[in-house]
Amino acid sequence: MTLFGKTIAITGASSGIGAEIARLARFQGAHVIGLDRNDPMITLDGFVKIDMGDAAAIDAAVAALPTGIHGLVNAAGVSGLADKDVVARVNYLGLRHLTEALLPKIAKGGAIVNITSILGAEWPARVDLHKDLAATKTWAEGEAWLAKNPVPQATCYQYFKEALVVWTKKRGYQTFMQNDIRMNSVAPGPVFTPILGEFVQMLGEERVAADAANIKRPAIADEIAPPVLFLCSDASRWVTGINLPVDGGIDALYV
């Protein structure tokens, strides 16, 4: 697998999973443009400030990006300890807005990879709701839908990761058929990143302890990056609309 000569844009590139994806992409020969609200702490080929919770800021970032991008990795996100409206904007509405706005600048044969979560695995239980939300076309329509279908704070993180899985599948089919651009997602389990502690608080120590007894350990961020970049590469040119668990077996545990 190689990314030589490809331009990859990565949100959340300044830390955590996004930073590891950026490092590996450059090692494999890609020209990497990071997008983040925080300044990067790693070497990049380009960097654009972005606030994923603000549509105007996203539009400004898209305007600053070049045409002919070969891959977009949506790795930015916030935990469920943030206000549910912030989680909705950053983890779903903003990600969707950026992706749609950037589509005209993505080359044919390009790829989009969204970072979901193993916590989105129960999407089939609410698939009709998620399909309704996915059918909204704009940021404003999405916000209006959420106002009529409020999401509880306690489960907002899981809910919007579920919604992202469904949107990835629906939109991934469309972008492949209409634009020759693939869209897939990767669903990590717990990962050693700066916000791992927030997920422990979000889920509760009892739930975390129960899960910990059934897994080897949390992942290292550089164990998530290779599958993400496989989905950006030409080696996955016939893969679209999947949600790939990269979780040390957690998805298999609950079958």
- Answer yes or no: is 214 within a domain: yes
Helix (H) or strand (E) holding 60: helix 55-64
DSSP character at residue 180: S
Amino acid at 145: W
- Rg of the chain taking only CA atoms, in angstroms: 17
pLDDT at 163 over 70: yes
- Answer yes or no: is 110 within a domain: yes
- Answer yes or no: is 31 within a domain: yes
pLDDT of residue 190: 87
DSSP character at residue 91: I
- Answer yes or no: is 26 within a domain: yes
Residue 241 Rama label (left phi>0; alpha psi -120 to 50; beta): left
pLDDT of residue 214: 78
Alpha helix (H) residue ranges in 80-204:
84-88, 94-102, 127-135, 139-148, 156-179, 196-203
- Answer yes or no: is 252 within a domain: no
- Answer yes or no: is 198 within a domain: yes
Look up 157 and say whether it is catalytic: yes
CA angle in degrees (0–180, nearest 5) for 2-169-83: 100
Of all residues in the chain, what percent carry a pLDDT higher than 90? 84
Q: List the CATH number of the domain containing 198.
A: 3.40.50.720
| Strand locations in 26-130 (E) | 31-36, 46-49, 69-74, 106-115
DSSP character at residue 54: -
pLDDT of residue 147: 98
**Residue-range definition of the domain harbouring residue 135:** 7-247
- Answer yes or no: is 20 within a domain: yes
State how far the alpha carbon of 114 is from the alpha carbons of 43, 83, 200, 227, in Å: 22, 21, 23, 12
Catalytic residue among 157, 159, 173, 254: 157
Residue 2, classed as helix, strand or coil, is coil
Confidence band of 57 (pLDDT split at 50, 70, 90): very high
For residues 111 and 2, the model is more confident at 111
pTM of the model: 0.94
Cβ atoms 11, 76 nearer than 8 A: yes
Number of structural domains (the chain) is 1
Token match 């790829």: residue? Answer: 111
- Answer yes or no: is 2 within a domain: no
State how far the alpha carbon of 14 is from the alpha carbons of 39, 50, 122, 213, in Å: 6, 12, 30, 32
DSSP symbols for 175-222: HHHHHS-EEEEEEE-SEESTTHHHHHHHH-HHHHHHHHTTSS-PEEHH
State how far the alpha carbon of 57 is from the alpha carbons of 36, 79, 101, 160, 223, in Å: 11, 21, 12, 21, 31
Residue 25 Rama label (left phi>0; alpha psi -120 to 50; beta): alpha
pLDDT of residue 218: 86
pLDDT of residue 199: 61
